[in-house]
Each structure stands twice: as structure tokens, then as C-alpha cells.
Amino acid sequence: MRPVYVAGFGFRQRATLDSFRSAFNKAAHGFEISAIAVPIDKIDNPALYDFANEQGLAIYPAHADAMRQAETETRSPVTLEKRHTGSVAEAAALAIFKDPSTLVATRQISDDRLAVCAVAKGLEI
């Protein structure tokens, strides 16, 4: 079975299509991304949908309890306080896998600092 690569995003509501492109291009370079994962409460962002459509990728909701259990490499004090995880992007990418997954690209921040992307690898989402 081939590994699946998922791009996880954390972002501010005012993130633009360019915000998502910038963070994605930094984190996902060299990986064949199969899907996007975001916190369930942020899934309705129009720019995110534009980005997913542009890339031809499905968006999966990452649930808060699964994100809290994810072992992130980044440990942001602000994110720990607000989201109970070290990195939203890293946790979202890890949280949607049914099997154990591995972080292969830590969070990368968009040029405008409005979006963050990380990549995780697993076998089944």
C-alpha cells in the first residue's frame, strides 16, 4: 500500500487564496499531496475552497479531540492555550489518519502570515 500525504492547514479567517498557496508551496514541495485537513470549525472558508478546487484536493475536517491527541513537533504557547495542541496545521494533518501517521513537513508560514501548512504521511484517511 502506498503512503498518503495530507496537507494540514491552520489559518486566520481573512486568509486569501495566495495565503494558502504560499504556505502549501513551502510545506508540500516534493510530496504528492492527496488531501487537505483543517479544523472542523474552519472548514467553510471560501478561500480554502478556492485553493482546494485549484489543487483538485478534497478537504477533510479534523475534529478537536483528535487534534488534541496528535503529537506535534511545534509547540506554540498561544496555540496550546487556544487549541490545546502545539500546531493547528501539524495536528490537523495528523488527526485525519485512521492508522498511525508521521509528520514529514513541520508547519510552514505563508508570506503574509495568515496561513500555516504542514504535511503528514500515513496509509489510510
Give tens-digit pLDDT for 21-43: 999 999 999 999 999 999 999 99
Q: Which three cell numbers stand for residue 110?
A: 505563508
Report the alpha-carbon distance of residue 79 to residue 91 in Å, rounded: 11
Instruction: Delimit the domains of the chain by residue range.
Output: 4-122
- Ranges under pLDDT 50 in the chain: none
What lies within 8 Å, CB to CB, of 81 at 6+ separation is: none
Sheet holding 102-109, edge to edge: 58-62, 33-39, 4-11, 115-122, 102-109
Query: pTM of this prediction?
Result: 0.94
pLDDT for res 81: 84
E strand intervals along the chain: 4-11, 33-39, 58-62, 102-109, 115-122
pLDDT for res 83: 86
Q: Which CATH superfamily is domain 4-122 in?
A: CobE/GbiG C-terminal domain (3.30.420.180)
